[in-house]
Amino acid sequence: MGGLLIKNGISVSDEKILNILGYADARDGGTTGMDEVTSGEFKGIGIARVDDTIVVLGRDIPYSCALEEGEAPSDLDLDLVTLSRGGDIVCFLIDGTSNTFAYSIFIGGERTRVHSVSGDETLFDYGPGTEYDKGLEASTGGITRLIANFTGHTLVEMMDDMDLSVEVYQL
């Protein structure tokens, strides 16, 4: 599972998000709940709005961010740098099967933090911890805590308690 979290996203349209992700041709697939878009079988893009934060979920999203040492910033990284002038952004990856966890944090028009781990090996650790990730481990628990720190809600709350409506876009 992976995706983006975008603070102060009220004025950011789904179309703009899809364009930034390179999915301008994605087809509207209706609405669903968080359980479907967080499942391993989900192959589209899901966009939900929680308070002032946009939650964008899609298994391929984090692979478009530069999360390893030596990688040049990707087109998505550069677009997120620009978009983060309006609100902080997190790009995250949780892959429990391969034991790989990673995230990038964009604040105030800069990529300020990148942390990625595969197994016991740290692949990249750039920038100081932020208010969102300071002291967290790169693990499923750490990334889910990062999401809670950023959104103000746990994944379990968003999946089970909040009855969020998620706009689905088929690729």
Distance CA 121, CA 92 (A): 17
pLDDT given for residue 40 in this prediction: 85
Q: What's the token pair of residue 144?
A: 């889910």
| Tally of residues, the chain | 171
Beta bridge partners of 114: 104, 126
User: Dihedral through CA 127, CA 132, CA 31, CA 10, nearest 10?
Assistant: -90
pLDDT given for residue 49 in this prediction: 96
Q: What is the mean pLDDT of residues 78-96?
A: 96
Instruction: Answer yes or no: is pLDDT of 169 > 80.
Output: yes
Q: What is the mean pLDDT of residues 125-148?
A: 90
Q: Has this prediction a pTM greater than 0.85?
A: yes
pLDDT grade for 106, boundaries at 50, 70 and 90: very high
pLDDT grade for 69, boundaries at 50, 70 and 90: confident
Q: What is the mean pLDDT of residues 14-24?
A: 97
pLDDT given for residue 46 in this prediction: 98
Instruction: Answer yes or no: is pLDDT of 138 > 80.
Output: no
